[in-house]
Amino acid sequence: TYNSLLERLAQSWSQQRQFVSAVSHELRTPLTIVQGYLHRTIKRANNLSPEQVKGLQTAEEESIRMRRLLDDLLDLSRSDSGKLAIANEPVRLTDQLEQVADLARNTLNRPLLLELPDDPRARDAMAHADPPRLRQVLLDLIENADKYSPENTPIRLVLRHATDASLVDVIDQGIGIPEQELDQVFQRFQRASNAPAKTGSGLGLSVVKLLVEGMGGSIEVHSRLGEGSCFTVILPS
Ligand code: ADP
C-alpha cells in the first residue's frame, strides 16, 4: 500500500510539473507576439497622442514582466524534472561583467558603477559558467537592486578574487531586508515583509539560486534594513 501510495504521489507531482511547464511554454509564444506588435506600434506610429503612447508603453512593460515570470516558471519546472540545461564553459568574468553593465545601463535611470580589480591577474580571472545564464543572474540581481532602491542611488557591480573562487557583488543602497527574513528570500514565492506590494512575485531569487548552483557556485546576501543589500555570487575558479 505504501509503495503504491508513493508511486501515485510521484505520478501526480510529475503531472503537475508537466502541466506548469506546458502552460508556461504555450503562453510565451502569444505573449511574445503581443509584445512585438506593441513595440512596433510605439516605434512606427507617428499619429499617437502622448496618452496613447504611455498606455501602450505600460502594456509593453507588463507583457515583458509576464514573459519573465513565465521564463522563471519554466526554469523552475525544468529544474524540478532534472531537465534544466546549463552548459558550463571557461569564461573571463571581466568580459561578462562589462557586457552586463552595458546591457543594464540601457534600461536603468540611475548610475551603475562597474568595479574591476586593479591586479591584472585578478582582472583576467576565469570561472566555469554558462555565459547567458550568468548574465541572466546578474541582470536579475541588478533589476532587484533597482526595484528596491530609492531614485538616483547608485548600484555597484564589483568583481573580487579570492584564493579558490571569484566573487561578484551587486550592492545597492535600498530598503534592505529584515535580518530574520534573509534566509527566506531565496525560496519560491517568498517576499520580505518590507517589499512594496505588487512589485514582484517572489520567484526571481529562487531561479537565480538554482542557476548559480547549476554553475557549481553559491549565492549569499548581506543586508541592513533601510541601508542597502549586497548579493554575492561565488563561482569556483
Ligand atoms: P520579487 O522581487 O519578484 O518579489 P525575488 O525572488 O527576486 O522576487 O526577491 C524575493 C524578495 O527578496 C523580494 O520580494 C524582496 O522582498 C527581497 N529582495 C530581493 N532583492 C532585494 C534588494 N536588492 N533589496 C531589498 N530587498 C530585496
Model pLDDT, residue 109:
96
| Ligand 1 contact via 148 beta carbon (within 6 Å) | yes
Output the CA 200–ligand 1 centroid distance in Å: 8
Ligand 1 centroid–CA 147 distance in Å is 8
| Cα 151 from Cα 62, distance rounded (Å) | 21
Ligand 1 test: best mutation among 137, 177, 221, most atoms within 8 Å of CB? 177
Q: Evaluate: CB of 201 within 6 angstroms of ligand 1.
A: yes
pLDDT given at position 111? 98
pLDDT at 136: 96
CA–CA distances in Å: residue 128 to residues 43, 99, 134: 40, 17, 10
Residue 215: alpha-carbon gap to chain centroid: 15
User: What is the pLDDT at residue 148?
Assistant: 98
b/e 144-165 (16+ beta carbons within 10 angstroms → b): bbbebbeeeeebbbbbbbeeeb
The pLDDT of residue 144 = 97
For cell 555570487, the residue is 233
Please provide the DSSP assignment of 178-201 as one string. -GGGTTGGGSTT---TTSPTTS--
Mean pLDDT (10-residue bins), the chain, 237 residues: 92 89 90 94 91 95 92 92 93 97 96 96 94 97 97 97 94 98 95 94 96 97 98 95
229 pocket-lining for ligand 1 (C-beta < 6 Å): yes
- Give the ranges where the chain is alpha helix by DSSP (H): 2-44, 50-80, 93-107, 120-123, 131-147, 204-214
Q: Give the pLDDT score at 9.
A: 92
Q: What is the pLDDT of residues 154-170, one digit of tens each?
A: 999 999 999 899 999 99
What is the 7 CA–ligand 1 centroid distance (Å)?
A: 36
DSSP 226: T
